[in-house]
Structure 1
Amino acid sequence: MRIHLPRITDAKQALQQSLKISKAMASDVPKGHFAIYVGEYRKRFVIPVSYLNHSLFQDLLHEAEEEYGFDQPMGRLRVPCSEDAFITLISHMNGS
């Protein structure tokens, strides 16, 4: 007796496709950096991992958690601020 499980097969194919896309996107991020998506149009920034230790950036991540939760599409990290506000934040972090 053969059991056909189309949902599992479809889910497996979707997961494989998602992993291929994630690997392709991650390949252009240098070691020691990560990609973050900012603003209404989700502009992509590649920033150093060291920013994760900065209190201003941690506050921004907390806001992202409250706004979007942990279940973000394709594992992309999104933050709820404008591109200009993000650039200003990064400038302040670089100056301190």
Structure 2
Amino acid sequence: MGFRLPRIVHAKQSFRRSSSTGNGSSTVDVPKGYFTVYVGEVQKKRFVIPLSYLNQPSFQDLLSQAEEEFGYDHPMGGITIPCSEDLFLDLTRSLKDS
């Protein structure tokens, strides 16, 4: 699977827009080099994950699914990923270990 830079750039731009309030001040407690995703099938749980995951093909597959199902305009301030929390945790563990 190839690297899809335009989608990642769009996701980063959307995240920047959604992570600030109307007056321009940031309300999100996300450290530099990380971003927020919401995961879950019914109830969404917030995860703060490293930007380096954006380079991983398995994570790019999740982003493609998120784009197809939700687009990148999220009122929660992060990308919503349409998978179970267990699947997401297994994936992030494997990415962390590699």
Normalising by structure 2, we get a TM-score of: 0.69
How is 1:1-96 mapped onto 2 (pairs within 5 angstroms)?
18-19=21-22, 23-24=26-27, 26=28, 28-39=29-40, 40-96=42-98
8 Å CA contact retained: 1:18, 1:74: no
Matched letter for residue 92 of structure 2: I
TM-superposed deviation, 1:78? 0.3
Deviation for aligned residue 1:71: 2.8
Q: Which has the larger radius of gyration?
A: 1
DSSP-derived class of the 1:41 partner:
coil
Greater helix proportion: 1
SS class of match (1:81)? coil
CA contact (8 A) 1:38 1:80 kept: yes
Matched residue type, 1:84? D
Consecutive unaligned residues of structure 2, counting only runs of 5 or more, are 1-19
In the alignment of these two chains, the number of paired residues is 78
Coordinate RMSD, CA, aligned = 2.2
Identity of aligned residues (%): 55
User: TM-score, structure 1 length as denominator?
Assistant: 0.70
Contact 1:38 1:83 in 2 (8 A): yes
**Bigger RCO of structures 1 and 2 (CA < 8 A, at least 6 apart):** 2
Tell me which amino acid in the other structure corresponds to 1:23.
S
